[in-house]
Chain A
Amino acid sequence: MPAPIRLRELIRTIRTARTQAEEREMIQKECAAIRSSFREEDNTYRCRNVAKLLYMHMLGYPAHFGQLECLKLIASQKFTDKRIGYLGAMLLLDERQDVHLLMTNCIKNDLNHSTQYVQGLALCTLGCMGSSEMCRDLAGEVEKLLKTSNSYLRKKAALCAVHVIRKVPELMEMFLPATKNLLNEKNHGVLHTSVVLLTEMCERSPDMLAHFRKNEKLVPQLVRILKNLIMSGYSPEHDVSGISDPFLQVRILRLLRILGRNDDDSSEAMNDILAQVATNTETSKNVGNAILYETVLTIMDIKSESGLRVLAINILGRFLLNNDKNIRYVALTSLLKTVQTDHNAVQRHRSTIVDCLKDLDVSIKRRAMELSFALVNGNNVRGMMKELLYFLDSCEPEFKADCASGIFLAAEKYAPSKRWHIDTIMRVLTTAGSYVRDDAVPNLIQLITNSVEMHAYTVQRLYKAILGDYSQQPLVQVASWCIGEYGDLLVSGQCEEEEPIQVTEDEVLDILESVLISNMSASVTRGYALTAIMKLSTRFTCTVNRIKKVVSIYGSSIDVELQQRAVEYNALFKKYDHMRPALLERMPVMEKVTTNGPTDIVQTNGETEPAVLETKPPPSGLQPASQANDLLDLLGGSDITPVIPTAPTSKPASAGGELLDLLGDLNLTGSPISAPAPQIAQPPFLLDGLSSQPLFNDIAAGIPSITAYNKNGLKIDFTFERSNTNPSVTVITIQASNSTELDMTDFVFQAAVPKTFQLQLLSPSSSVIPAFNSGTITQVIKVLNPQKQQLRMRIKLTYNHKGSAMQDLAEVNNFPPQSWQ
């Protein structure tokens, strides 16, 4: 058998391959040769073969069959063999393979070898891939080497000790005596690794931290080393771009940060040196800025004097003007971290930060955007918003959603006037309409409704905004809603703030109709437009016939939603014309609840309409909110309890009783109509957009609820609803309550059903069940049961209670027949 080819030859050969297949073939051939050589226990070429194998491994080919060969190389007497063997062990072996334990003895011997390089290899390997068993066995040797005078071994032993501590934290104390003299060392490699070791110990154990602070007086020692570094003149050994060992300086500053955190005395002891470093460091090169940056972070993190903090923030402000992008990046990152605590100091650099919005680098832009939002307050809101709106206009698509919601939040918090607020949101909708979150539309509608004096102005602005451009759907939706609601103001031209425009009723209807027929309009938008047209029938005087015509045309729309609306509106025109004005009355001023977010909006009745319309308009369309409570009454005795308490209705008094008749009649006439009550009772349906089949009717009322689980104070009740349109779907609402005296946290409910069923688990209302039955978690399960088989379910419950993790399994077999038959 000829001698195997050398590594360099193999590489040369492989590089001649022109296709991957060719390369694979070459590798396979070579692997076969290597395998047979391994089988023959060839000691001479083992080293060469393993080296080649490592190369193939690097290319991504399997090389695990070389693991044992690595161990044999490590056991060899030759340094060359050991070098490749240990390298192979680091690359091919890890603690998942038991084989690695066979190395323990070899490493132990090599740690006591007479050649420092062999010892070094062993330390390096142990420090890279040593498992906890190995670390336990060899920690003694590492500790011994940590005390040696040989700096080459000492620095490696220090890092090896860090690895040992990470693997087996309880071995930490073993290294404590050896740390005593580490910082007296002259060699910078040892100093560097020692600081790493001390950092690891301080970060891992509060006791160690206290010990090093109090007993070892670590802070003065580190201050002395740092002082020597910045005072000492040029030393060619450690000079990097004119600065003496910046790596060591950075490490020391990091350790000082840990020592000074939440400790007045230590912070006090390092104030001076930090000020010195901050003022004396040469910053024409990256190295200097690296040190300065680290100093700033330390100043921010410890209990430093206020003057020092201002100095630090000013350094970051200076960084923002630096030509180097990296320095601008780290400056923004750190300003972002500190903006909450040192708001005023950061505020001073506002204009520089805003300038960074124009940076070409997306990472910098993102940071600058986040920071800009953090800096907005009542005094600067107009100026900042101008910049941010400009940014929104010009930024990459990936920023638009975040930027838009940031602007919404800031505008809500700091709006100087309602008009400004409305203008701002409208600007966002016009520039980035398709990127805003779903709740932006109802929020804006709510805002507009409540600004009574702005109605004429707003509707006119919106009318102009959508003239000829229907691409920004949320804008079109808001505009449609407003035109429907305040169309009379638009036509009468009452707007005082802007130059009034002359619009005729027909022009207004033209625009709504073109929204209806535009290809760009989403189904939801069309729903808005149709309802708006309907509303206008009571606000306009001479175009009612036209409206009737439009409504009747859409009575045969292929869009079921639209058709249903149109059919109902039609009925309103024909049979219930006497109550049309009352039903289409202007929306009352909504009560402001809390911040935005659809969940909150559902809470108040007055606000429900936008939310409902926005997710999926309910077929009845007209002020469904005001019907809610009545319908709940109607369904009285049913198990549907509203999860979210509905506030007293502020609906027009006239709607009440007649509305019920209306619904009843409509049912008789065969047009499908749904009761909005379940929708209100179950916000998840609305929010998840699952209301594609929200047509749960009062057949649900007949299904009795069951208690599925009742153990250890945890009670889980199931209530049922069936869908009218799809009777094979059973919707189960679970309610979990807790009768013990302590909250149950991290509650997770899981369910499984036999294969013939399909199950969908929606997200729960919370993960904490409050104690004393003072609240419940609700979660909705949808079960699809096409074969109408008897329902069975296995449930798994996990939660934390009284500090321990609980888990339980249960089988639920007592489903009422109505829930599945």
Chain B
Amino acid sequence: MHANHTDARLCLLSSHAGYYTVLAEIAFKVHGPVLLRVFVHIMSEDTQQQIIRETFHLVSKRDENVCNFLEGGLLIGGSDNKLIYRHYATLYFVFCVDSSESELGILDLIQVFVETLDKCFENVCELDLIFHVDKVHNILAEMVMGGMVLETNMNEIVTQIDAQNKLEKSEAGLAGAPARAVSAVKNMNLPEIPRNINIGDISIKVPNLPSFK
């Protein structure tokens, strides 16, 4: 993480049976703090929002020289659950875990996650995380699944992510062609006819073009 993004704070929230969210203070005043979230537990939207707000509030006011554990309130399921966070320059990463996880182990897991993000984005900054939520989700899915740790080997995670991105790219190259053709047709600037063209027909026909397969 780089020190030059001094105005942003980021939190990642997870739990054994879990939820994850990324929060940023820079966007907080206008846009709300959330950058990414996954709730595995079934919770109402309101509860989720409340948890995020409260977590943000609790963590962002913590002092430098206090421990990185916060005992959970009722909102996150009682005192069995803890918020565990780590501070990187201007960024806070927060996990919410129950007693089935080792507190100190989670601190290391956060470290691995941050380093993995750094590898995948090549010197990650909070803008990467803001603009590539989907990618952060994908990286997370290779590391933690259903709130349980899946893989902690950074190289393995990066390899699998790269391979999947390559797969996507290949689709965009070949199979993406018909889509681009369709959008070209749609965007043709023919002011008098748009309503008469049955776009549905076109979109059905195009994938059948043998030359693209």
- Nearest chain B CB to A77's CB is how many angstroms away? 8
User: Chain B residue with minimal CB distance to A240?
Assistant: B108
Tell me which of A58, A59, A241, A364 has the highest count of chain B C-beta atoms within 10 A of its own C-beta: A58
Decide yes or no whether A152 CB sits under 8 A from chain B. Answer: yes
Decide yes or no whether A111 CB sits under 8 A from chain B. Answer: no
A247 x B149 contact (CB < 8 A)? yes
Decide yes or no whether B120 CB sits under 8 A from chain A. Answer: no
Q: How far is the CA of A41 from the CA of B200 in the complex (A)?
A: 8
Decide yes or no whether A5 CB sits under 8 A from chain B. Answer: no
The verdict on A326 contacting B171 (CB below 8 Å), with A90-B38, A128-B146 known, is no
B167 x A115 contact (CB < 8 A)? yes
B108 x A325 contact (CB < 8 A)? no
Is chain B's binding surface mostly helix, strand, loop or mixed? helix
User: Chain A residue with minimal CB distance to B62?
Assistant: A361
A361 x B148 contact (CB < 8 A)? no
- Nearest chain B CB to A217's CB is how many angstroms away? 25
A51 x B148 contact (CB < 8 A)? no
The verdict on A20 contacting B183 (CB below 8 Å), with A58-B36, A78-B175, A80-B171 known, is no
- CB neighbors of B among A239-264 (8 A): 240-241, 245-248, 250, 254
User: Chain B residue with minimal CB distance to A287?
Assistant: B108
A15 x B150 contact (CB < 8 A)? no
A156 x B145 contact (CB < 8 A)? yes
Interface string of A120-150 (1 = CB under 8 A from B): 0000100111000000000000000000000
Decide yes or no whether B54 CB sits under 8 A from chain A. Answer: no
Decide yes or no whether B164 CB sits under 8 A from chain A. Answer: yes
- Point out the residue from B70, B141, B199 that lies within 8 Å of A124, measured CB to CB: B141
- Point out the residue from B42, B104, B187, B203 that lies within 8 Å of A42, measured CB to CB: B203
- Point out the residue from B34, B35, B107, B203 that lies within 8 Å of A43, measured CB to CB: B203
B205 surroundings in chain A (CB, below 8 A):
none
The verdict on A128 contacting B200 (CB below 8 Å), with A19-B30, A238-B153 known, is no
A83 x B104 contact (CB < 8 A)? no
A163 x B69 contact (CB < 8 A)? no
User: Chain A residue with minimal CB distance to B17?
Assistant: A166
The verdict on A127 contacting B145 (CB below 8 Å), with A44-B183, A117-B167 known, is yes
The verdict on A78 contacting B137 (CB below 8 Å), with A192-B152, A238-B153, A325-B66 known, is no
- Point out the residue from B67, B107, B156 that lies within 8 Å of A189, measured CB to CB: B156
Decide yes or no whether B90 CB sits under 8 A from chain A. Answer: no
- CB neighbors of B among A154-211 (8 A): 155-156, 159-160, 162-163, 166, 188-189, 192-193, 196
A59 x B102 contact (CB < 8 A)? no
Decide yes or no whether B60 CB sits under 8 A from chain A. Answer: no
B200 surroundings in chain A (CB, below 8 A):
40-41
Decide yes or no whether B7 CB sits under 8 A from chain A. Answer: no
Q: How far is the CA of A328 from the CA of B104 in the complex (A)?
A: 11
User: Chain B residue with minimal CB distance to A247?
Assistant: B152
Among the listed stretches A289-297, A487-495, A661-669, which one makes contact with chain B, having 4 or more residues with CB under 8 Å of it? A289-297
Among the listed stretches A6-14, A589-597, A673-681, which one makes contact with chain B, having 4 or more residues with CB under 8 Å of it? A6-14
Q: How far is the CA of A322 from the CA of B111 in the complex (A)?
A: 20
Q: How far is the CA of A330 from the CA of B82 in the complex (A)?
A: 12
- Nearest chain A CB to B96's CB is how many angstroms away? 16
B199 x A40 contact (CB < 8 A)? yes
Q: How far is the CA of A42 from the CA of B185 in the complex (A)?
A: 14
- CB neighbors of A among B3-21 (8 A): 17
Q: How far is the CA of A247 from the CA of B68 in the complex (A)?
A: 19
Is chain A's binding surface mostly helix, strand, loop or mixed? helix
- Nearest chain A CB to B16's CB is how many angstroms away? 10
Q: How far is the CA of A250 from the CA of B107 in the complex (A)?
A: 13
Q: How far is the CA of A17 from the CA of B29 in the complex (A)?
A: 11
Interface string of B90-112 (1 = CB under 8 A from A): 00000000000011110111011
A60 x B150 contact (CB < 8 A)? no
B160 x A152 contact (CB < 8 A)? yes
B164 x A189 contact (CB < 8 A)? no
A326 x B150 contact (CB < 8 A)? no
- CB neighbors of B among A482-530 (8 A): none
**Interface extent on B, as a size class?**
35 or more
Decide yes or no whether B133 CB sits under 8 A from chain A. Answer: yes
A326 x B27 contact (CB < 8 A)? no
Q: How far is the CA of A1 from the CA of B150 in the complex (A)?
A: 44
A361 x B152 contact (CB < 8 A)? no
B17 surroundings in chain A (CB, below 8 A):
166
- Nearest chain B CB to A255's CB is how many angstroms away? 12
Decide yes or no whether B208 CB sits under 8 A from chain A. Answer: no
- Nearest chain B CB to A293's CB is how many angstroms away? 5
B149 surroundings in chain A (CB, below 8 A):
192, 196, 247
Decide yes or no whether A29 CB sits under 8 A from chain B. Answer: no
A293 x B102 contact (CB < 8 A)? yes
Decide yes or no whether A2 CB sits under 8 A from chain B. Answer: yes
Q: How far is the CA of A59 from the CA of B34 in the complex (A)?
A: 6
Q: How far is the CA of A129 from the CA of B42 in the complex (A)?
A: 9
- Nearest chain A CB to B160's CB is how many angstroms away? 7
- Point out the residue from B30, B35, B109, B112 that lies within 8 Å of A58, measured CB to CB: B35
B152 surroundings in chain A (CB, below 8 A):
188-189, 192, 240, 245, 247-248
Decide yes or no whether A362 CB sits under 8 A from chain B. Answer: yes
B105 x A128 contact (CB < 8 A)? no
Decide yes or no whether B119 CB sits under 8 A from chain A. Answer: no
A250 x B102 contact (CB < 8 A)? yes
B187 surroundings in chain A (CB, below 8 A):
2-3
Decide yes or no whether B58 CB sits under 8 A from chain A. Answer: no
- Nearest chain A CB to B84's CB is how many angstroms away? 9
Q: How far is the CA of A325 from the CA of B70 in the complex (A)?
A: 12
Decide yes or no whether B80 CB sits under 8 A from chain A. Answer: no
Decide yes or no whether A96 CB sits under 8 A from chain B. Answer: yes
Interface string of B53-68 (1 = CB under 8 A from A): 0000000000101111
Q: How far is the CA of A12 from the CA of B32 in the complex (A)?
A: 15
A159 x B160 contact (CB < 8 A)? no
A795 surroundings in chain B (CB, below 8 A):
none
A362 surroundings in chain B (CB, below 8 A):
66
A328 surroundings in chain B (CB, below 8 A):
67
B153 surroundings in chain A (CB, below 8 A):
188-189, 237-238
B167 x A156 contact (CB < 8 A)? no
A43 surroundings in chain B (CB, below 8 A):
203
A326 x B69 contact (CB < 8 A)? yes
Q: How far is the CA of A511 from the CA of B172 in the complex (A)?
A: 90
- CB neighbors of B among A37-74 (8 A): 40-45, 51, 54-55, 58-60, 62
For the A-B complex with A117-B164, A327-B104 known, give 11 more contacts whose Cβ atoms are closer than 8 Å.
A7-B134, A23-B31, A44-B203, A79-B167, A90-B38, A166-B17, A240-B112, A241-B108, A286-B108, A290-B108, A293-B104
Instruction: Offer 20 A-B interface pairs, CB within 8 angstroms, sorted by A.
Output: A7-B134, A51-B134, A59-B32, A87-B134, A87-B141, A117-B160, A117-B163, A160-B146, A163-B146, A189-B152, A192-B151, A237-B156, A240-B111, A254-B102, A287-B108, A290-B105, A326-B107, A361-B65, A363-B69, A364-B67
Which B residues contact A (CB, under 8 angstroms)? 17, 27, 30-32, 34-38, 40, 42, 45, 49, 63, 65-71, 102-105, 107-109, 111-112, 130-131, 133-134, 137-138, 141, 145-146, 148-153, 155-156, 160, 163-164, 167-168, 171-172, 175, 179, 182-183, 186-187, 194, 199-200, 203
Q: Which 8 A-B pairs have the closest CB atoms?
A: A290-B104, A325-B67, A361-B66, A44-B179, A127-B146, A329-B67, A3-B183, A189-B151
